[in-house]
Amino acid sequence: MSGAHWSEEDGLVSVPAAASLQPLVDEAAGLERHLGMRSALYSTVEDALAEADPVLCQRLVRARVQGPTGDVLGPLAPRAAVGPDVTCFAVGTHSLVGSVTLRADHVVAWGAQESCTLDESIALARRLTERGCTLVEVEARAAGSCALVAAFPRRSLASLLPSTRPFPRVTARAVLSFRVTWPDAAELWRALSSDVQMVGSLTLSALNPDFAAVQVVHPEGRAALSEDARRSVELRYRPAASWPHPDVMKALSLRSTPARPARA
C-alpha cells in the first residue's frame, strides 16, 4: 500500500512525498480514478516533483515544504495560493517535501485510437481535453504513426474515439519532460525526435485545454542519456527564466535540481 489517504468526495489523495508512484497509480486505477498517467514515469512522488514533472505538478493541490525555519503548508483548497505561492518550491528543487495532496480524477470509460498522424493525434488530444478529458496520452509508434488513449469522465464522450480498449502502456521512466502550449507541441515533438533519436521514445500528455507535456521516456530513465547531453537538450528547448534562480534558492536555503546526479 502507498500510505495514501483518498478523499472520494473531493477527488483528492494525500500521500507522503517519499511514496512510490506506480503503486499509487495502480491504487487510483482500482478506485476508478487516475493521476493523469497510466504508468509512473518516476519512481517516487518526490522524484517527480524534483524533476518538475508537468503531469504530476498539474495535479498538485498542496505540498508541505520543510523550509529553513519550519514547514510551509498552504490551505487544502482549490486555487488556494494567496500571495506568492511559496509551496511552488516543492517543485524542481531538493527542498524537503513532507507530504503532498494531488487531484485524482474519476474515470467512467476508456477510449483509444491507433494509427493516426502526429498532427491528428495532437489535435484530437486537445479537442478531448477541451471536452473535459483529464487524461489523454499520445504515444509514438513505428513509421511516424501515433496512438492515443483517453480516460472519459462521463460516458457521453465515449463516442469521440473508435475503440473502448486502451492499449497497454510500455513501462518506462522519464528522461526529459517539457511543459508546452498546444501550438508548440508538434514542433517540439519533431525536434526532440530528431535530437534524441538514439534514446527512448516520445509521449505526450494533455495537461489542460491550454498546455500539454511532451516527454522522452526510456526503460532506464535518465541514465539512458548522459547528463551533458540531457542538459544540452534542455537548454535548447526549455525557456530559461532571465531571473537568476540561485538568488532565490539561496534566500530560501534551497538547492536547485540541475545539481542532481543521474539516476535510473
User: Among residues 115, 117, 163, 208, which is the contact residue for another protein, using CB under 8 A?
Assistant: 208
User: Among residues 143, 198, 240, 259, which is the contact residue for another protein, using CB under 8 A?
Assistant: 240
- The secondary structure of residue 200, as a DSSP letter, is -
Of 108 and 170, the one with the shorter C-beta distance to another protein is 108
Cα gap 185→208, rounded to integer Å: 13
Cα gap 227→139, rounded to integer Å: 24
User: Which residues ranging from 145 to 204 are in contact with another protein (CB under 8 A)?
Assistant: 152-154, 156-157, 179, 181, 183
User: Among residues 3, 5, 18, 85, which is the contact residue for another protein, using CB under 8 A?
Assistant: 85
3-state secondary structure of 120: helix
User: Among residues 103, 173, 218, 222, which is the contact residue for another protein, using CB under 8 A?
Assistant: 103
Of 11 and 22, the one with the shorter C-beta distance to another protein is 11
> Binding to another protein by residue 92, rule CB under 8 A?
yes
* Alpha helix (H) residue ranges in the chain: 21-30, 45-50, 54-58, 118-130, 182-195, 227-237, 245-251
Cα dihedral value 131, 132, 133, 138, nearest 10: 50
User: Among residues 3, 5, 32, 76, which is the contact residue for another protein, using CB under 8 A?
Assistant: 76
